[in-house]
A and B are shown apart, each in its own frame.
Chain A
């Protein structure tokens, strides 16, 4: 199953009320009925909601993601701690590799931002950022797994790419056509460069300034909980992290409150899929304290 097809099913499965069991076995897309819903009809619904991302190849997504990542670094300083960054990347890669879309064009990469603001970002293609303030909302490894799984889910659901206005992509397709792989002429190059610039701006505005829609965030949380389970993490990590975040966030602040649904609303949306009776193993709590602790 190609990355593109897997993503169509990923989206369709979430629309069908989380019937994601479909994902693991569906190599050649047999038409299966789940709760009276045909998988092929679900896929058609899924395709209908795919917007700009439909036209963008994984390679193009990678180049957009690199520029969005460079813009994130223009607003936040990097936090260069090799051992913390290694722990973050090891955990993040284990989550990504446990998911249904373990590979992207350029792979998944994780970095810490030197800011006490509570925030995290996912640039298209797999560039994932977590602030020090967000790390401090986590008491154990399973809570940090919830943060990273949420950002990985944003990448897989292509919420960044879908922030690009459709007209820009239509224009890009018209300009490039099938001549695109050869060197573009001066006028065409300028047009595509302008569309690229505007597309990066669309994503920055949506991701950092306005935030994704509430329904996108809830959809992302659901996929995150699934990824956590596949990797072997307790899904209560998500509720522990959101509960701590709820205590730390200040109304009117510049961070999550501005761009996200409240932690309480996210908890209430997830209530049916989280088992709070489980216990996070002491070795993972200890490992988190040793590798991250208070930042």
Chain B
């Protein structure tokens, strides 16, 4: 029976092969459930919305991630080992409040840092030219 796991990253990158050097062809949002079709080391071949590709195991969790809209349906007896409440505690709402109270802090620089992207092709070339280990 195929296992169903949840994406525990802000945006997991679905790759064409079981490697960080695999081309990224789809980004899957936090909390999305994916069906595991096959395994290869620390990689899982998954299907989501009819599309199949590879995700690293650390992008996934066995826990159910309950998104904000469904939070009220949560049974309070269910333990933290079984589910994660998205947006629990420290979240975008709390950051917004923190920013209002600390207007001199430049979160634009943090956003800029997060936006800086390096494509798998560049990392592959870097590894080859430097005689480093493939991942």
Contact = CB atoms under 8 A, between A and B. Distances in A.
Interface of A: 1-4, 6, 27, 56-60, 62-64, 66-67, 69-71, 73-74, 78, 85-86, 89-91, 93-94, 97-98, 101-107, 109-111, 127, 141, 172-173, 176-184, 189, 192-193, 196-197, 199-200, 230-233, 281, 283-284, 287
A193 B86 contact: no
A109 B56 contact: no
B108 to A, nearest CB: 9
Contacts of B87: 59, 180-181
19 contacts: A57-B84, A59-B90, A63-B91, A63-B94, A73-B105, A73-B110, A90-B126, A94-B127, A97-B20, A103-B12, A172-B90, A177-B76, A180-B85, A181-B87, A181-B88, A193-B97, A231-B135, A283-B129, A283-B130
A166 B129 CA distance: 46
A2 B62 contact: yes
Interface string B120-135: 0011001101111101
B38 to A, nearest CB: 14
Nearest to B92: A63
Contacts of A93: 118, 123
Nearest to A87: B126
B63 interface: yes
Contacts of A94: 123, 126-127, 132, 135
A61 to B, nearest CB: 8
Interface residues of B, number: 59
B131 A90 contact: no
Contact of A178 (B12, B62, B85, B116): B85
B32 interface: no
Contacts of A63: 90-92, 94-95
A85 B116 contact: yes
Contact of A60 (B90, B130, B133): B90
A197 B113 CA distance: 22
B110 A103 contact: no
Q: When A and B form their complex, which 8 residue pairs have the shortest distance between CB atoms, in order from nearest? A: A181-B71, A232-B132, A232-B133, A181-B85, A180-B88, A60-B90, A97-B20, A70-B105
B89 interface: yes
Contacts of B67: 181
Given A1-B58, A283-B129, A284-B131, A109 B116 contact: yes
Contacts of B114: 106-107, 109
Main secondary structure of the interface of A (DSSP, over half): helix
A105 B9 contact: yes
B9 to A, nearest CB: 6
Contact of A141 (B113, B127, B130): B130
B126 A91 contact: yes
A93 B122 CA distance: 11
B40 to A, nearest CB: 12
A99 B9 CA distance: 17
Contacts of B95: 63, 66-67
Interface string B10-32: 10100000001000000000100
B57 interface: yes
B1 interface: no
B109 A70 contact: yes
A181 B86 contact: yes
B98 to A, nearest CB: 6
Contacts of A127: 110, 113
Contacts of A66: 95, 107, 110
Given A1-B57, A180-B88, 13 more contacts: A1-B42, A27-B57, A57-B89, A70-B107, A86-B122, A89-B118, A111-B113, A189-B97, A193-B98, A232-B132, A281-B131, A284-B130, A287-B130
A103 B9 contact: yes
Contact of A192 (B62, B90, B102): B90
Contact of B98 (A103, A180, A200, A232): A200
